[in-house]
């Protein structure tokens, strides 16, 4: 079973526009996977642009969420719109905020 399959099947899921987030607690080095479906954006240029914007937003806000160091994350972009950097950053902040509020993980 690949890393992505493991997170998809065994991990927890959060829907928070414009992302669907799957996360799984890990004891080793946490990984982050960003998926931009080809059925939403046919052109690789647009998928790469969204991937770069998402990666940069994660880099800037990761320090605000120290709990992310314990999770491997799979981010799936679910919007059909091409969002700018600020909208992606705001969406990620909302999404990561939901991880810290998850009562299942606080026990």
pLDDT digits over 64-102, tens only?
988 888 899 999 999 999 999 999 999 999 999 888 765
pLDDT above 60: residue 103: no
Q: Output phi, psi for 49, to 5 deg.
A: -60, -45
Domains in the chain: ranges and CATH: 3-96 (3.30.230.10)
* Beta carbons within 10 angstroms of residue 50's beta carbon: 20
**Distance in angstroms (rounded) separating the CA atoms of residues 72 and 90:** 20
Output the pTM of the full model.
Answer: 0.85
pLDDT for position 102: 58
For residues 22 and 78, what is the distance between their CA atoms, to the nearest angstrom?
13
CB 76 within 8 A of CB 19: yes
Asked whether the predicted pLDDT for residue 104 surpasses 70, the reply is: no
Give the burial class of 63: count Cβ atoms within 10 A of its Cβ; 0-12 exposed, 13-18 middle, 19 or more buried. exposed
Tokens of 78: 């679910």
């Amino acid at each position: 079973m690949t890393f992505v399959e493991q997170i998809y099947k065994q991990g927890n899921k959060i829907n928070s526009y414009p992302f669907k987030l799957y996360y799984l607690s890990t004891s080793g080095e946490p990984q982050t996977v960003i998926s931009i479906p080809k059925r939403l954006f046919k052109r690789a240029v647009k998928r790469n642009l969204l991937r770069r914007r998402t990666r940069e937003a994660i880099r800037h806000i990761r320090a605000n969420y120290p709990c992310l160091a314990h999770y491997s994350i799979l981010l799936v972009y679910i919007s059909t719109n091409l969002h700018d950097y600020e909208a992606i950053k705001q969406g990620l902040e909302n999404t990561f905020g939901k991880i810290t509020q998850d009562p299942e993980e606080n026990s």
